Amino acid sequence: MSDSSLTFIDELESEAIYILREVSAKFKNPTIMFSGGKDSITLIHLAKKAFYPQKIPFTLLHVDTGHNFPEAICRRDSLVDELEVDLIVAKVQNTIDLGRVKEEQGENATRNSLQIRTLLDAIKDRDIDCAIGGARRDEEKSRAKERFFSHRNRNGEWDPKNQRPELWNLFNGAYHQGEHFRVFPISNWTELDIWQYIEREKIQLPSLYFAHEREVVKRNNSWIPFSDFIKLGADEKIERKKIRFRTLGDITITGGIESNADTVEEIVQEVAAMRQTERGNRIDDKRSETAMEDRKRLGYF
Amino acid sequence: MESQLLRFTTAGSVDNGKSTLIGRLLYDSKSIFEDQLKSVEEISRRTAGGDLNLALFTDGLRDEVEAGITIDVAYRYFATPHRKFIIADAPGHIEFTRNMVTAASTTDTILIIVDAKQGITEQTKRHTFIASLLNLSNVVVCVNKMDLVDWNEGVYKSILTDFYKLTSQLQLPNLQFIPISALKGDNVVNGSDQMNWYSGSTLISLLETLPLDSKLCNVPARFPIQLLLDAGDRKVVAGRVEGGLLFVGDEITASPSGSTGIIESINIDGIEILSASGRMSISIGLSREMDVQRGDILTHSSKLLRLSDKFDAMLCWLSDVDSSIETTYDLQLGTTNESASIQQIHHKIDVNSFKSYVDKKPLSMNDICKVEISLVKEIAFDAYSDNQATGSFILIDKRTNATVAAGMIL
Ligand SMILES: Nc1nc2c(ncn2[C@@H]2O[C@H](COP(=O)(O)OP(=O)(O)OP(=O)(O)O)[C@@H](O)[C@H]2O)c(=O)[nH]1
């Protein structure tokens, strides 16, 4: 067998495992940011492989907006039981109650930008020196240049002038007291790679990813799932549509797409033919061209 | 599912059409999403009089470069039915050497874009030098803007001749040429009706067939230890094979510690396998008496690494803070970290003429030079030309934690 028989999925998997192991060696108190979505579930699957037969040497951190898909929470709790890892739940509601942030008002109000404060508070309070995330470079224009090891200053901000070139397989994780890193082991994966990997590894996902009849509301050209958190506008109505979600975020802003794909194989085929970017259905990204960029500087995931 | 991954980088002088070429590759391979296409169409309508401006697909970064934000590399992804590609694109012209070295270090292939009207420029020489410095396996010279020279074969041929002359003193294992027009699309993804004299392949089919990482298989096995795993009473280490082949039962040595033993098992995701090869992340069960730690590199006992507390290396300076002889840096090589200093600057290299010259001044951003590095303790390593993973290193400034230099051991 020669090395060049590694398929691209093998190679991406090997790279992610390499990075997760580097994190474990270089940081004292790393955590995996867990959203319940497919990218963070894939990340945990990779971490399991990276440290087998040992258990995953990281905590899980869930920044809880309170606006959850109930099923994503179930999946979170069953994973925590299975992996025997510690779960940290940082609630946006607490940050609001403490008066550290103010709830947005109006129909398009979300808690998305409020999460930043909650996350940074949790990182500080718990002395977390590395938060591992499932972000990918293909997701959004501003991420194309993101590094595997992304340095954050004492205020948790991404300082564009203090990012380090990444050469070969050498990652510089040195930091001063109070600073931390965000590390993105699946930076080089695309949405299609993730789905092909989920198919190959038979990874269990919340059923939200699969097409199903759901109650939805049309908002900003996306299908938003109807939930207790949605206030219907005057001209909005609840409809039933066969919908699946491409990302799972805050339930109030995550738009689904009309689809008939209800198995992983069908999704792989659908994604391969897909002509829209994944985040195209997130209301928060639509607010402005540079929305993502702005949030990232402030310390968004 | 069977397809493989090729990582490549791109280099071109200002306005040679690098952004247009990347845009063309993405567009013609149908890797552009509708929402991205729409926003580029909109901007094109406002500015370029309607014609789709392909360069805009990669343009997100230009403003940031102007705003002084350091972007060393931007990554793009696309796939064809035969292969998956990662483009490591180094934008910016001022910090060019630094960015290009960074981008090229993660790849094995470079596209050098030459403007057919201008021919070879100073910058082309620089790009070519860096390709050879980093020991890249495949160099593809894209002679672009053939439409502006009436698709003339003579122009193309004379650029080829010049290029061969230029590179006669350099090591470039696989050198290829393609005449293209990124703007019109000729010989990029689709063929060309204009250049019947050219019988070679299009750029995309060349990229689909270039040999992959051929350097990795025929070298001595190297396994830098990342971690010791907790596996009860067994001794298990985790890491990635950086070249060569390892079999269960092989006699091995850990360097620099010198401990010896046998590979008792190889595991990938809990499954026992009999052998492992380049780039696989695995875990290895070792004889219990072996005393190893992170930073040790496992090799066959017959194919040891070099051991020393000093070596010569080519260094590319990445930082805007100059080097200093008095400073102790943290040298990171594979999974090893050790205190090191720059003992001596032998000479610097003029990347435009490939000539070396003596200059004892400190190293500053974009300098490429031959130095002697000395370490506080002995470490294990290879020459970069023998193994990239065990022959490359970075220097970290201990006060600022910045990565200040990239090195290749001679
Ligand atoms: N006629 C012709 N023009 C081209 C071709 N490729 C690129 N151009 C034009 O050359 C100019 C520069 O192209 P870019 O792609 O922006 O060049 P670049 O090298 O990326 O420039 P920088 O990003 O500034 O480095 C643009 O006006 C392109 O339209 C080609 O094949 N033929």
Are residues A164 and A249 both part of a single domain? no
Is residue A16 one of the residues assigned to a domain? yes
Are residues A216 and A185 both part of a single domain? no
Domain B2-213 and domain B216-300, same fold? Reply is no
**Average pLDDT over chain B, rounded to an integer:** 90
Q: How confident is the model at residue B229 (pLDDT cuts 50, 70, 90)?
A: very high
Q: Are strands B275-277 and B245-247 parallel, antiparallel or unpaired?
A: antiparallel
Is residue A198 one of the residues assigned to a domain? no
Nearest residue of A to residue B318 by CA position?
A165
Q: Write the CATH number for A29.
A: 3.40.50.620
Are residues A118 and A23 both part of a single domain? yes
Is residue B57 pLDDT above 80, yes or no? no
Are residues A181 and A153 both part of a single domain? yes
DSSP conformational letter for B68:
T
Number of domains forming the structure of chain A: 2
What sign does the CA torsion over B301, B306, B309, B315 have? negative
Are residues A175 and A242 both part of a single domain? no
Comparing B293 with B366, the larger pLDDT belongs to B293
Is residue A2 one of the residues assigned to a domain? no
**Domain that includes residue A225, residue range:** 206-285
pLDDT for B393: 98
Are residues A41 and A178 both part of a single domain? yes
Are residues A150 and A221 both part of a single domain? no
DSSP conformational letter for A5:
G
The rounded percent of chain A whose pLDDT value lies above 90 is 39
Are residues A112 and A238 both part of a single domain? no
Closest partner CB to A275 (pick from B2, B33, B335): B33
Is residue A96 one of the residues assigned to a domain? yes
pLDDT digits 0-9 by tens, B168-219: 888 888 999 999 999 999 999 999 999 999 999 999 999 999 988 667 778 9
pLDDT for A286: 45
Are residues A244 and A128 both part of a single domain? no
The CA distance from B337 to A18, in Å, is 17
Tokens of B48: 């370029």
CA B19 / ligand 1 centre spacing (Å): 7
Full-model pTM? 0.91
Q: How confident is the model at residue B126 (pLDDT cuts 50, 70, 90)?
A: confident
CA B124 / ligand 1 centre spacing (Å): 16
Q: Cβ separation of A3 and B277 shorter than 8 Å?
A: yes
Are residues A211 and A186 both part of a single domain? no
Range with the poorest average pLDDT among A244-253, A290-299, B320-329: A290-299
Range with the poorest average pLDDT among A48-52, A137-141, B254-258: A137-141
Mutate to test the interface with A, among B19, B30, B77 (most CBs of A within 10 A): B77
- Is B216-300 a domain of CATH 1.10.340.30? no
State which of B10, B13, B14, B15 you would mutate to test the pocket of ligand 1, scoring each by most atoms of that ligand within 8 A of its C-beta: B15
Is residue A268 one of the residues assigned to a domain? yes
CB count within 10 Å of CB B291 equals: 13
Nearest residue of B to residue A137 by CA position?
B75
Q: Which fold has domain B2-213?
A: Rossmann fold (3.40.50)
Pick the CATH number of B307-409 from 2.40.30.10, 3.30.450.20, 1.20.1260.10, 3.40.50.880: 2.40.30.10
All structural domains of chain B with their residue ranges: 2-213, 216-300, 307-409
The CA distance from A197 to A45, in Å, is 10
- A residues 156-215 closer than 8 Å to B (CB): 160-170, 172, 174-176, 187-188, 190, 192-193, 196, 200
Q: Cβ separation of A8 and B213 shorter than 8 Å?
A: no
Is residue A260 one of the residues assigned to a domain? yes
pLDDT digits 0-9 by tens, A205-223: 888 888 888 877 777 777 7
Return the SS3 of B409: strand
pLDDT digits 0-9 by tens, A271-281: 887 665 555 55
Give per-residue burial for B122-158: e unless 16+ CB within 10 Å, then b: ebbbbbbbbbbbbbbbbbbbbbbbbbebebeeebbee
Is residue A300 pLDDT above 60, yes or no? no
pLDDT digits 0-9 by tens, B27-50: 888 877 777 777 777 777 776 666
Is residue A199 one of the residues assigned to a domain? no
Radius of gyration (C-alpha) of chain B in whole angstroms = 23
Is residue A57 one of the residues assigned to a domain? yes
Tokens of A6: 């590694």
pLDDT digits 0-9 by tens, B377-396: 999 999 999 999 999 999 99
pLDDT for B74: 86
Is residue A102 pLDDT above 80, yes or no? no
pLDDT for A289: 42
Are residues A236 and A271 both part of a single domain? yes
- Report whether residue B48 contacts ligand 1, using a CB cutoff of 6 Å: no
Are residues A188 and A234 both part of a single domain? no
Cα distance from A50 to chain B (closest Cα, Å)? 7
pLDDT for B265: 96
Q: How confident is the model at residue B61 (pLDDT cuts 50, 70, 90)?
A: low
